[in-house]
Amino acid sequence: MLKQVKASAGSGKTYELTARFLSLLAGSQEEDSIPVCKSSQAKGYCWPEIMAVTFTNKAAAEMKERVVRSLKNRALDIKGDGLGSDWTPGAAKRQLTPILQRYNRLNIRTIDSLLNLLVRIFALELGLSPEFELLFDPATLFEPNFNKFLSQCEEGDEYRKKLMDDAVKSLVIKENKQGFWLAEQMRFRLIRILEHVLECPGERLTDQEEIAGLLQGYFDKYMKAVSAMSSLIKSESIAASSHLLKYLDHAATLDFMGEPKESTMVTKESFVDCVNKKSKCDINSLHEKIYDDLKKAHVLYRDQAMILRGAYALAPFVRIVEEIRDDIIEYQSLHGMLLSSSLPRVASYVLQSGEALPDAFCRMGSRLHHLLVDEFQDTSLEQWHAMIPLAVECLSKNGSLFYVGDVKQAIYSWRGGRSELFDEIADEPELATLTEFTPGHLDYNWRSLEKVIEFNNSFFDALADYDVATDLAEILYPNGPEDQQTELAEKIASSFEGASQKLPPNQPRSGGYVRLQKLFAETSSEIEAETKRNFDLLIDELCPRREFKDICVLVRSNGHAQLVCDWLVEKEIPVITENSLQLDRHPVVRQIVSLLKFLDYPQDDLAFLEFICGKEVFQRISAISNDEIVSWLGSRDKGSLYRRFSEKFPDFWKYHISPFLRKSGLMTPYDLASEMVARFKIIESNPQDELYIRRFLEVVHLAEEKRGTSLAAFLDFWELSSAEEKVPLPESVNAVRIMTIHKSKGLEFPVIIVPFHNWAVSGSDTTFTDIEVDGKVMLTPMSSALGETYYENRTRMFTEQLNLLYVAWTRAGDELYGFLPSEKVKSVTPALSAIETILDGRFNDLGLLEHGTAPIRTEPSIDESLQENKPTQEITENLIAPDYSSLQSPELMAWLPRLRVYRHNLEDYSYDARMRGELAHKAMENLILTGDDSGDCMRSTEAAFAQFPAIADERETIIPEVAAMTSWAISVEDVRAAIERGRPEVAIMDSKGETHRADLLLLEENRALVVEYKTGSPSPENEKQVKRYLRLLKEMYGNQKELRGLLVYLDGQFTREVLI
C-alpha cells in the first residue's frame, strides 16, 4: 500500500501516524519468528520491522511516548485519548512487554538518525571510523584548515599568498566591499562556497584571465553594435531621440566588464520608436536590422557580463576552497568527522548496490516491512533517493509506505526540502509498479477555536484563487517575464488548494479572536518604535488574564527575537528564547568556564577578570562589590592579575581560589566543575538556574568521555561546540516563549503574537549556483541574468515566505495578534503583499482588523507566581563579608587519592627512574611561586604525588626527594624567571600544522628562553628537541630576539645551555 495523507495545521497528523503504527503493531508476529539474514522471505513481519521516520527529535520522542502510553492505557483498560481502542487489554500487555524490554528496537527515529545508522553500518567500507563524529556546522572543518592556509601564507608560500591577494583584491576592488569586517565577509563567503563545493563536487573554471576572455567576445560584439548604430545615425543624419543618443554615448565609454546602462531605447519594437518625427519615414529594413542587432547585443552582453563578472569575482575564493579541500578531507578522516549534510548523499551511494540493502538489514538485526514518514514536504531529493530502496523493500513484500505532510508548511527548502516530492511520489516509477496509490486528507482542525479557523480559512482560501494568486505574482514580479508570473501564480494557487478546515464534530470549539493592527509609520526606526508601543500595550492587556506560558511571540529572525526579548525584560516579564537556552550564554555557566580557563592557564588575565566580575558567583560569595573591583583594577600594578589579586584579597584567595589552583592538575574537568558548584553553593543560591547548571555538568561529563579528562581538551571542546549546547525547553516554566517560526513547527499555543510581517526575501549575494558558459562550468552569484534558474529560486523563496505566514498564523489556539506596517516597504515582502492584497478594505480608519469577539479585559492583579519569575535583583547589595579567620581552607576531593587506588590499572607499578621523571616533571608543572619558596615546592610536590596513588607507601622517601629537585630548580635564575614570567606548555605550530609543546617559554622584548625539564643522563635527543623549538622560534622572530634553550636536569641538579 502506498498512501499519502494531506494534513493541514492542527489536523492531528501525529495522532494519525500513531494510529497507523498501532494498527500495524496489531498485525505483527513475535520477534523471533521472522528470519533476518536468510535469503528466503517469510510471511508476515515483527514489530521492529515497522519504521516511522520523523523530521525532529521532539516529534520522534512524542510519537514513541504516545505509542507506549496508548498500549499501557489499553493494558490497564484505561480509555485514554482513543488511540488503540481496538486492542484488548491482554493483547496490549503482550505487545507492550517486549517493547519495554527492548525499547531501543522501537523503530521511531528521525530521518537524519536513520541515514546516520545506515552510514555507520558501512563506515569501514567507506573508509570512516564507525565512531565518526557528526558535524552540523561546516565552519568546524573550515576554520582549522583555513588557519593553516593563512599560516602558510605568512610563512612565505608565494602560491597561496597570491590566492589570498587575489581574493582580497576581488572583494575590495572588483566588488567595492567596504567596512571594518572584511575578514568576516571573506570567511562567510568561503564557508558558503565550501558548502556548495562539498555538496556539488566537480571541476570548475577558476582562471580569472580565461573567464575575462570568455566575456571579451560578448563585449566586442556589443561595442561593435553600438559603433554601428552610432555610425548609422551620424552618416545618414537620422534625428534620433536624445535618450538613444545618451545611451550610445554612455555605451561608447564603457569599460571592459562594465555594466551597460538600462534604457527603454533598447526595448522598443521598432527603430522607428527611437527617432524623432521628421526621420520616421526614412527608416528602412537595414536600419531595423542594425537596431535589432544592438538590442540583442545589449541583452546578451548585459546578462553574460553579470554572470561572468560574478564568476570572475568568486574565482579566487573557489580556488582557495579547492586548495584546502584535500586538507579538509584528510582532517575529516584523521579526526573521524562527517558533515551531516553529507549523510543523504553517502547513504544513497551505499544503498545503490543491490547487495547493500540485505546486508544492511542483516547487520541491523531486522528487516523492514512498513515505512511511515512524517513531514514529507520537507524531505530533500537526496534524502528521498536514500529512502527509495527502503520503500521498494517494503512494497515488494506487500508492505506499505505511509506518508503525511502539507505543502503549505514547506519551510525548509533552504536546507534542500523539495515540497514537489509530496505529490510526485505517486508517479515514482520504482514504486508505481509495485502497488496502488491511495490519497487521503485530514479535514478537521483540532487545535484552534472557531473564529481563528474562520479567519485562516478565509485568508488562505483566497490564495488558492487563481486570480488572487495572479495579482500577487504581478506584485512580486513587477518587471518579470509573464511566464514566470504565471508559474508563480499556479504554484501559489496549487499549494493552498484545499486549505479550508472544518470544526471537529461534537466538539465545543466556539470563540476565538484575531486582531491585526496597522502601524502608521514610514521609516524602519519609526516602524520599530511603533511596533514596540503597540506590543507593550498588548502585553499589558494579555498578562492580567493569561499566564505567561500561554503566550508565544513568533519572529522571522534571531535579531527580531532578541529585540522582543529586550522589550519583555524591560517590563520585567520572564522569557524563554532559543538563545536563552544556550549554555554558553548563561552567566553562571560563563563564570564557571572562566574559572576553568584560569585554572588551565593562570596567565589568562581575561578569564580571571570575567570570573571576579561575575555577580552570580564571585560577588555573592566574596561580598567584594563591583565598585571595589573596578577601583582596584584602575590602580593595580603591572604583572599577572591573579598574583595582584591574591595580594589584595589574601583571605578570599586562600579560601576559595588557591585550593582549586593547587589541585587543578589532579582533578578532571567534571571534578573541578562539580566542586565549584558544591563549594560555592551555586545551585542553592541560584535555584532558578539549576537546569542550566546540571546540564552543564552533564556536558562536561560527556566531553570527558569523548575528548579525555584533561582540562585543556575540555576547553578546546567548549570553544568549538558550546554554541550547540542547550538545555531542554522547560515546559512547566511560566514564561513567555519567543521563537522563530521555523522552530514553532508542530507546536501550538493559546496566544500567538506576530509582531513583524515585513519579512524581506533574502538577497542574491549569498546564494551561488553553477553555470555553464561556452562549455565551461563556473560558480557565480544568483542573478536575473541566469534566467529560469534565477526565477525558479525566487519563486521558491516567495512561496516559502507565504508558507511561513501560514505556519505562524496557524499556531494559535485561542487568540492571534499581528502588527503590519501601513506604508509599503521598499524590499520584496511576499507575506505583507499577500495581506495587503487579500485583506485590503477590511481595516477600519484606525488601521484595525478584528475577527471574533474581543476577550474581556481584566485589571492587573499581583500574583505570587509572577513575582517568583521576576528577574533577580542585584545580589551584592546586602551581602555580609565572611569571617575568614574562623575558616580553614578545605582540601578539595580529599577522597580522590583513596578512590583512585581502586580505579588504577592492576599492574606491577613500582617506583622507578621513569616514574621519578614523571613525578618531578608534574611537580614543576604545578609550581606557582607565591613568595614562600619552601611551601610552594612542598605543595607542588604533594599535588604531583597525589596523582600516583600506587606508590603512596613510599611517601616519606619520595616527597622530600622531589621537593629538593624543585627547590634547586627555582634557585637557578633563568628557571625562576621563566616560572614567574613565562608560559608553561606553550604550543608552537610548524609549517605542516603540527604542534610542539615546550615545558616553559619565556618571551621578553629582546630575548626568548626555552626551558625543558629532564631527568636521568643527558642525551643528544634532548638537545635536538630544544633546538627544534628554537628553530621554530627563529622562523617566527628572525633576528629580533636572542634565542636560548636550557635543559634542566632535575635529579642531577645541573643545566645545559642550548643554542642554534
Mark the binding-site residues for ATP, compressed into ranges.
7-14
CB contact set of 315 (below 8 Å; sequence gap of 6+): 166, 170, 205, 206, 207, 208, 211, 778, 779
Strand partners, 1010: 1001, 1045
Exposure on the CB side of residue 405, measured as CA atoms within 13 A? 31
Q: Which helix (H) or strand (E) holds 778?
A: strand 776-781
Strands of the sheet with 108-110, listed across from one edge:
108-110, 50-54, 370-373, 400-405, 2-7, 437-442
- Integer Cα distance of 467 and 451 in angstroms: 26
- Integer Cα distance of 628 and 610 in angstroms: 15
- Integer Cα distance of 687 and 50 in angstroms: 43
Max CA pair span of the chain: 118
Smallest CA-to-CA distance from 2 within 419, 388, 412, 407 is with 388
Grid coordinates representing 703 are 566531553
Count the neighbouring beta carbons within 10 Å of the beta carbon of residue 625: 15
- The amino acid occupying position 423 is D
Smallest CA-to-CA distance from 403 within 436, 445, 371 is with 371
Exposure on the CB side of residue 319, measured as CA atoms within 13 A? 21
- Is the Cβ–Cβ distance between 767 and 841 less than 8 Å? no
- Is the Cβ–Cβ distance between 641 and 597 less than 8 Å? no
Q: 506 in the Ramachandran plot: left (φ > 0), alpha (ψ -120 to 50) or beta?
A: left
- The amino acid occupying position 993 is G
Q: Which helix (H) or strand (E) holds 619?
A: helix 618-622
DSSP helix/strand/coil, 441: strand
- Integer Cα distance of 77 and 74 in angstroms: 5
Strands of the sheet with 575-577, listed across from one edge:
575-577, 736-740, 551-555, 749-754, 812-821, 513-519, 848-852
DSSP helix/strand/coil, 577: strand
- Integer Cα distance of 917 and 1015 in angstroms: 5
DSSP helix/strand/coil, 442: strand
CB contact set of 866 (below 8 Å; sequence gap of 6+): 543, 548, 734
- Integer Cα distance of 774 and 920 in angstroms: 70
Exposure on the CB side of residue 444, measured as CA atoms within 13 A? 10
Rounded to a whole number of angstroms, the CA Rg of the chain reads: 35
Q: 82 in the Ramachandran plot: left (φ > 0), alpha (ψ -120 to 50) or beta?
A: left
DSSP helix/strand/coil, 297: helix
* Chain centre distance of CA 839: 37
- Integer Cα distance of 514 and 851 in angstroms: 5
| Residues composing the chain | 1060
Query: Which residues sit in the known binding site?
Result: 7-14
Q: What is the 3-state secondary structure (H, E, C) of 547-573?
A: CHHHEEEEECCHHHHHHHHHHHHHCCC
Grid coordinates representing 735 are 514564561
Smallest CA-to-CA distance from 140 within 395, 379, 328 is with 328
